[in-house]
Structure 1
């Protein structure tokens, strides 16, 4: 089941609600914006779950587009089978990128902590692989 993340501290690190750091140092971060009503978002979940499980150099975190209360987000995430951590507050502007207008949207943050690319619309495993190799 997904874990809630309260947001970001001033450094690169992401912190859980309990204060635990999400290990992102030296890793690529994929920040995926999703919503329960978004069919392509639901279709991406297994791909993102697999990326998170099978790539030690990637951290996947989710952001609920609807800005719902954490308990509702957690309930929706469980229904959708989201296994990666979730931010309870979005990192809007943290990497100089605006809030997405289209779902799903995934921001790719490089190992150096800078924004690298934004993927808009549904992505397949091959799409993510190609984007990560650029």
Structure 2
């Protein structure tokens, strides 16, 4: 292989690798969350804490939304407001019976999410990674689903 061809090949490999998103860290079980598992989907990112009564009440709603959204290009993600990690995060998520993915690493910087001083707060991020909506207060599966559909329709 000629020197030019190797340089050109190296250049294109570098471009491809540069386009790959960084992973999302680990989940509540310590498992790696690859970027490919979330990128290109609509994300419903719910911030919660075990001391937050409305957060506790909405967990079953997000469990339902997560189940209803399987295979539809929408993922529900939880983020612990207090920054719990490792065994503490696993214990808190288990204690609330959270059945969707909980990220140990806060994705706020990745999606330019504003810091919220109130809980619960939920963000809807579109498939291109843009923040589309901030929902403050306790949510229902049907309410979030309605917002998702309305936002998705705006794109068409």
Aligned counterparts of 2:22 and 2:133: Cα–Cα separation in 1: 17
**1:27 to partner: Cα distance:** 1.7
Residue from 85, 90, 102 that aligns with 2:118: 102
The aligned residue for residue 19 of structure 1 is 32
Superposition RMSD on alpha carbons, in Å?
Answer: 1.9
Under a length normalisation based on structure 1, what TM-score does the superposition of the two structures give? 0.82
Residue from 80, 86, 91 that aligns with 1:75: 91
Matches within 5 A, 1:31-50: 31-50=45-64
Residue from 64, 77, 95 that aligns with 1:61: 77
Aligned with 2:109: secondary structure?
coil
Under a length normalisation based on structure 2, what TM-score does the superposition of the two structures give? 0.72
**In 2 relative to 1, CA 25–118 (structure 1 residues): closer, same or farther, beyond 3 Å?**
same
The aligned residue for residue 135 of structure 2 is 119
More helix by share: 2
More relative contact order in 1 or in 2 (CA 8 Å, sep 6+)?
A: 1
Q: Which has the larger radius of gyration?
A: 2
Of the structure 1 ranges 99-108 and 88-97, higher mean CA displacement relative to structure 2 is found in: 88-97
Specify every segment of 5 or more residues in structure 1 that has no aligned partner in the other structure, as ranges. Answer: 1-9
More strand by share: 1
Q: Deviations over 1:43-93 (max 9, x none)?
A: 111111111112122111111001123211110110100011111121223
Work out whether residues 13 and 24 of structure 1, in 8 Å CA contact, stay in contact via their aligned partners in 2: no
**1:13 to partner: Cα distance:** 5.2
